[in-house]
Chains A and B, each alone.
Chain A
């Protein structure tokens, strides 16, 4: 496998192409402009479609249409742009169409700051739009992971017939690193995937004697015998069962140097990466510190946090590029408030230093 030196945005876009993404629509916003720019050059080479929508709202609705037609598709944006996509993200969850939405987070609220941050955790994991729906949310901490997870997102979206979010940040989008890109899926495989969707539920045109395919509010499961469509409540129950299933099957996390840890860092994405460096420094000095890193922030890895022993763990430090902390609530829920939780935070483009983390961990040991 060829190792390449790529910018995060380029690695993400090329991985999407290799996963079979054949429709992308987006609207310019910093810090992810190199994603649409890459697709604009690359899509014609693979017979795909790149479109610059007239707005984020239009772009996500174009993706809704392409997804409804069975094509692997994607949109991306950043923070305030993702807010504009909330309508379409909610409709895609309603109609249960597979698509990938990427958020290269920047500061907030509102226009916030064009510089990187991790300030959309609540939005990504709790309320991407109206209606209480959920996406599986993948949270890469390196460009290699951003590439791998973008690729994986398309398979996950098809597996559950539900959109998937890649929650990255302006740091990862703009950095350059060595990457090994995933393999290009063959045209035959992609054609088979699309054909299977059209045979099952995707838009194709009516076939006499067969049920209509409707991309609508009655999606996700077959209506009960004798009923034209599911009720809204039927659909909510079907979706809720899927979210429960994710908790069993789709939780992904990493335990980093957790052996005998007396202080545990909770961090995802780029904050976890900086934390790992701080942990190495602290371990070298004899401090027993480790980390539980959610690789996916939804479903949240409750079990490893719940398994922490309050008799052995003095404290948890949430390291996050967000003020106030947002992930802290999931950690609190998982640990049942049995362990003291502190935070180490920066926001709106200010980067957490390893020294700051080292200092904050030492403060917990000194208590």
Chain B
């Protein structure tokens, strides 16, 4: 019987990365999907990754690409500088929700508003993972955090920020989608959207944004399986999945 290779490791994910993620964390799934997309589009050799600060910054050691360690929140500004001076490269940012949606909300909105021809991947897990579970812009009402020990209270903390919908209020962005990594079906849909986002950049269409709904077993205080259930029952009800804009 002839052997047919049906699966192989993406070229920019090494066998033994010197940094890994917590068990059950969807950062590694997201990186795998991005790396597969880069291979499928044949753009690995011209891709430059701009990492945010927080767990997203661990991508510096998890993904083997030319990359930049950006200051917290500034990845879209850094990516702007790279892409404007190296238009032949494919430039993407990989940021958390605190990075891209709180401290870096100005950089995010203005890069999107200029229609920078870059791709932004934003991980929405409702918490500051690396610093130990503080309240994020995306923390759900009632969801506990170390800095909201009785849960997010709208009267005190306001409501979760919907970054994709904020960007949808702008004219320039070309592609906006929200995807999730919590099931096989959703991972496949996510990959299709991420691929489309990079294709938009390759075609010079302008700013493409994919918000990836993710989990944080460590700081949510749940087993990985419990986080999948929590996402279905809570987070995905607050943050609706789908393509929001595809110009």
Which residues of A come within 8 Å of B, CB atoms?
A: 22-23, 25, 49, 51, 53-55, 57-59, 61-71, 73, 87-88, 91, 94-95, 203-208, 212-217, 228
Contact = CB atoms under 8 A, between A and B. Distances in A.
8 contacts: A58-B77, A58-B107, A64-B71, A66-B81, A68-B78, A206-B12, A214-B66, A215-B69
Interface stretch (B41-49, B119-127, B179-187, B199-207): B41-49
Contacts of B61: 228
A65 B106 contact: no
Given A23-B85, A25-B81, A69-B82, A61 B66 contact: no
Contact of A71 (B64, B68, B70, B85): B85
Given A55-B106, A69-B82, A228-B18, A95 B69 contact: yes
Given A58-B107, A61-B107, A207-B45, A212 B80 contact: no
B60 to A, nearest CB: 6
B28 interface: no
Given A55-B106, A65-B50, A206 B66 contact: yes
B188 interface: no
Contacts of B78: 61-62, 64-65, 68
Nearest to A204: B66
B110 A203 contact: no
A344 B60 CA distance: 51
B162 to A, nearest CB: 20
Interface residues of B, number: 35
A73 B66 contact: no
Contacts of B107: 54, 57-58, 61
A233 to B, nearest CB: 17
B74 A66 contact: no
Contact of B84 (A54, A61, A66, A95): A66
A208 B46 CA distance: 12
Contacts of B110: 53-54, 58
B84 A49 contact: yes
Given A58-B74, A58-B106, A95-B69, A65 B45 contact: no
Contacts of A87: 71, 74
A95 B50 CA distance: 13
Contacts of A206: 12, 44-45, 47, 64-66
Closest 7 CB pairs of A and B: A65-B81, A65-B78, A66-B81, A61-B77, A62-B81, A54-B110, A61-B74
Contacts of A64: 68, 70-71, 74, 77-78, 81
A22 B81 CA distance: 11
A238 B215 CA distance: 40
Nearest to A65: B81
B79 interface: yes
A203 B83 CA distance: 11
A241 B160 CA distance: 48
Interface string B71-108: 10010011111111110011000000000000000110
B106 A54 contact: yes
A61 B89 contact: no
A217 B51 CA distance: 12
A91 B45 CA distance: 25
B64 A63 contact: no
A169 B17 CA distance: 49
B143 interface: no
A244 to B, nearest CB: 26
Contact of B69 (A53, A207, A216, A228): A216
A66 B85 contact: yes
B67 interface: yes
Contacts of A68: 68, 78, 81-82
A237 B89 CA distance: 33
A75 B129 CA distance: 33
A65 B82 contact: yes
Contacts of B77: 53, 57-59, 61-62, 64-65
Contact of B89 (A25, A66, A203, A228): A203
B64 A216 contact: no
B45 A69 contact: no
Contact of A69 (B71, B81, B90): B81
Contacts of B12: 206
A290 B50 CA distance: 52
A205 B48 contact: yes
Contacts of A61: 70-71, 74, 77-78, 81, 107
